[in-house]
Amino acid sequence: MQNGVDLSHFVWQSDNGSEFIEVLNRKRGQTLYEQIIKEMKSESVQIPPDRKTYNSDVEAAHRLIEDEFYDIEDYHSPHDFLNKTFTYSVYFNWKL
């Protein structure tokens, strides 16, 4: 339970970067990402190797959010940040 939200039903999708998968980190055990997913009792899946277009929509959205929000807004407190984030998410997802 994280902030009142049961995250055990979530499936987190990532690319095959070494920060997300254990294969390259076998000597060190699980990655921090894998540890957090395990603590939340969630599941993690990776996009298939060499399928870079599977992640392109996410990368494009992140770029827009960075350009339209993070590079423009100033935050004066965590409360201010959360208010502006909520307002921007409404704008981003429902703009006409």
pLDDT tens digits, one per residue of 3-18? 677 888 888 888 877 7
| Percent with pLDDT over 70 in the chain | 85
Sequence-separated (6 or more) residues with CB below 8 Å from residue 70: none
pLDDT at position 88 over 60 = yes
Determine how many CB atoms are found less than 10 A away from the CB of residue 37.
Answer: 20
pLDDT of residue 50: 81
pLDDT at position 71 over 70 = yes
Instruction: Specify the pTM.
Output: 0.53
Q: Which DSSP helix (H) or strand (E) runs through 79?
A: helix 78-94
pLDDT at position 94 over 80 = yes
Q: How long, in residues, is the chain? A: 96
Distance between CA atoms of residues 10 and 76, nearest Å: 31
